[in-house]
Amino acid sequence: MISKTSIPQKLIFAIAATALFASCGNSTNKEDMKTSIENKKEILVLFGAPGSGKGTLAQRAAKELGYTTLSTGDLCRQNIEKGTDLGKTLKGYIDKGELVPDSLISDMVKVWLTEQQSSKNPIILDGYPRTKSQAETLVTLLADPNFSNLSLKVVKFAIREEEVVDRIANRLVCENKKCQAVYSLKSKKPAKEGICDLCGSKLIKRTDDNEEVVKNRFKIYSATENEILNFFSEKGISIKEISATQPVDEVYESFKKIVK
């Protein structure tokens, strides 16, 4: 056994200093890691069949919680109206009645996400990704060091086909393309019959909002959704589920608990 007095005093100080610096270093690393996680900006991908209420929730989250919402439909229209290179290419496909390639949609989303980097607002992606190919592109994109500050989370709006059919049968939308607010003759009536509360435009019923079309859309959507969600699950991405059959306010409260 070595006595305490036999160890040189300088050696004792050196050992103590090394331990102290090591301790400080570990603490700093933990704090840096914690700060890095806290500084990540959240990207929420909303999944839900047409009529599930995800669009309505996205609008409310943008207004009340500060989310920036991406609608690929709006993004396509904006690029065409501005005459961007992507917009011109996109218009070419649309004018020919051809499907827009996944790669083109993903390119527009990438440009949009790059533009959002200067903003601290969390993001909601509504309508993207629509295919497994787009989901793969999104995951690859977010693995890029330029997007290392973004954290991906998926929220699924669970709803039965019968409920979707009933909702859409009672759905009205604002005819103003810049507004497109959604109303329900059952649960969200406008203050003035047939008139949008937000912009005063006329409310209309979409021509494809009929039972046969809705059932077909639901079938197609469900198959695609399962493929995409399975892919996200395999990648270890968080997937949360909300019962979309609840009243609108309860769905919103469930959403807020998920994104806290």
Whether 130 is a known active-site residue: answer: yes
Q: Is residue 201 part of a domain?
A: no
Residue 253 binned pLDDT confidence (cut-offs 50, 70, 90) = very high
Q: Which helix (H) or strand (E) holds 89?
A: helix 85-95
Told to judge if 54 belongs to the known catalytic residues of this protein, a careful annotator would answer: yes
CA–CA gap between residue 62 and residue 182 (Å, rounded): 15
- Neighbouring CB atoms inside 10 A of 8's CB total 8
**Is residue 251 assigned to a domain?**
yes
* 179 domain-assigned: no
pTM of the model: 0.72
* 167 is annotated as an active-site residue: no
In a domain, 52, yes or no: yes
Q: Which of 29-38, 66-75, 97-106 has the lowest mean pLDDT?
A: 29-38
Residue range of the domain that includes 237: 40-159+212-259
How many C-alpha atoms does 139 have within 13 Å on its Cβ side? Answer: 18
Residue 7 lies in a domain: no
- Reported as a single tens digit per residue, the pLDDT across 190-202 is 999 999 999 999 9
Out of 160, 206, 219, 256, the active site residue is 206
Residue 184 lies in a domain: no
CATH number for the domain that contains residue 221 = 3.40.50.300
Q: Give whole-number Cα distances, 247 to 52, 187, 188, in Å.
A: 11, 8, 11
Whether 25 maps to a domain, the answer reads: no
Q: Number of structural domains, the chain?
A: 1
Does residue 2 form part of some domain?
no
Catalytic residue among 132, 215, 217, 240: 217
Dihedral angle sign, alpha carbons of residues 134, 138, 143, 147: positive
pLDDT in tens, 25-41: 444 443 443 334 446 78
Q: Which tokens sit at 40?
A: 């990540």
* Euclidean distance between the first and the last CA atom of the chain, given in angstroms as a whole number: 56
DSSP state of 146: G
Is residue 77 exposed (0-12), middle (13-18) or buried (19+ Cβ within 10 Å)? middle
Question: Among 60, 77, 130, 205, which one carries the catalytic annotation?
Answer: 130
